[in-house]
Amino acid sequence: MKITLDHNCIIDLVNKTIAGNQVEAIIKNTKYECFVVNIGASEMQKWGVNSNSYDKFE
């Protein structure tokens, strides 16, 4: 299964929060293939990209 993590997941992972511990468990589980978004929806909206379609985030 593919999982996409946002930057907040990485911050939680680094800070070893409860959520970060859960993210770490997911990353270590070999049944998951994890990715980190390169750009978030909020940044795309600042550039005038309409987020009404998931295709624009791929």
Q: What is the pLDDT of residue 28?
A: 96
Q: What is the pLDDT of residue 26?
A: 95
The answer to whether the Cα torsion of 9, 37, 53, 2 is positive or negative is negative
CB crowding 13-29: b at 16 or more within 10 Å, else e: beeeeeebeebeeeeee
- Which residue range forms the structural domain that includes residue 16? 2-57
Tell me the pLDDT of the chain (58 aa) as tens digits: 999 888 888 889 999 999 999 999 999 999 999 988 766 555 555 555 555 555 555 5
Total number of domains in the chain: 1
Spell out the residues 6+ positions from residue 57 whose beta carbon is closer than 8 angstroms to its own: 37, 41, 44, 51
Q: What is the pLDDT of residue 12?
A: 94
Q: What is the pTM of this model?
A: 0.61
